[in-house]
A and B are shown apart, each in its own frame.
Chain A
């Protein structure tokens, strides 16, 4: 995103947060988007998180082959890595691909087929009507998905570790409960909140300013995913630096 695009992005956000014409209609749109972003992504997040948790346990066990290091460390490392980094960041990147491309192509198609013009002619604040429900759904549902992801990733670690014999159930349980710092959950949820905003607002921006036809909509969709992923990683670093 160059400076011109960033400026236009900020101006779009200003328009997004104008007072809604009718709260009831916006509320319906928010619930619809929550269903799409939250419920619709639950299966994907569950599968990815469980497998990442299982693989993480096996890899940590593979690397920590020393008699001086207790096996419980496997559970602790898996827990902290999952909560602080893997669950929020991997979930966000996966969601940027799934939701970001959908948002960008939906809004982009509306732009090229003059549906956004139709909204504006009716006197509706089109950025608000189209984008605000998506952003609200994003910043509420992504943290919830990340909570589910944390739980399933740690559970996946337990299953992967115990089924393969890399760690005993008792060692794993002791590992994930020893020296637990609840602040890591706060950091993770702040990240999820920021990522939820990026996943919805950046693709919406890319779609909203599409010019042309089907090819440009597809290009905007690809750009939306790429820019979202880079923004997620950059914000991941910034939030980590600020909060830890």
Chain B
């Protein structure tokens, strides 16, 4: 479980996060949602240590991450898998080398064992046989799937996903969402997805935190999200014509 307590973060005079708290449980898909500029990605980066919050704590299974030194953080980070918005695959490496990279760095497995693990991960994201392709040769959806394969290569306890559907068509988005949900349940990972995509929210949102202007306005599940009286959340959820038309059907 990951618990965040009273997180504050500013950039200059711009206060981006204003006291966010929440508990993210394992085995369920946790979503952080909100409009552009609401602080979702900043919160995610505070949780994984890419930003240092001014105030507040992040705990990974009761291990306080924010006060850890460099070496202690590395131990936690070995338990983290992350899919970045732009996939962040290493351009100079093939798909196989990208997925094998963390195995090369942190395990003493033989090449055969590592290759077996790579092939298993690729099979898991339906990309069998794409080992020798370079990131430049992949479509956006394939890059995301390779990113997921790399993220799960080390059997992470915690999986972070930043905007998994950005730049993808609706069909591919659903495939990615379902894959994230399957992996979360299969490996009992604590998965946190940052998104503003309502398809994802309704499809995989087991536990949702809604941020607005740097504050947590609401938390709950996808079954409850359409029936709240929080005005800011309703404005967000029913912003699209499709959601407006379907409002009474949830």
Q: Which residues of A are interface residues toward B (Cβ below 8 A)?
A: 18, 21-22, 25, 109-110, 113-115, 117-118, 120-125
Contacts and interface: CB of A to CB of B under 8 A. Distances in A.
B interface, size bucket: 20 to 34
Contacts, number: 56
Interface in B52-104: 70, 73-78, 80, 82, 84-86, 88-91, 101-102, 104
A120 B90 contact: no
Interface of B: 48-50, 70, 73-78, 80, 82, 84-86, 88-91, 101-102, 104-106, 154, 160
B86 A121 contact: no
Nearest to B83: A118
Contacts of B90: 110, 115, 118
A114 B105 contact: no
A125 B50 CA distance: 13
6 contacts: A118-B82, A118-B88, A120-B50, A121-B80, A123-B73, A125-B70
A32 to B, nearest CB: 9
B105 A121 contact: no
Given A22-B105, A122-B105, A124-B105, A114 B77 contact: no
A35 B96 CA distance: 23
| Interface core residue of B70, B75, B105, B154 (most chain A CB under 10 Å) | B105
Given A123-B77, A123-B78, A117 B102 contact: no
| Interface core residue of A18, A109, A117 (most chain B CB under 10 Å) | A117
Given A21-B105, A122-B102, A113 B80 contact: no
Contacts of A110: 90
Contacts of A109: 91
- By Cβ-Cβ distance, the 10 closest A-B pairs, closest first, are A123-B77, A114-B88, A118-B88, A123-B74, A123-B78, A121-B82, A114-B84, A122-B102, A115-B88, A21-B105
Contacts of A113: 86, 88, 91
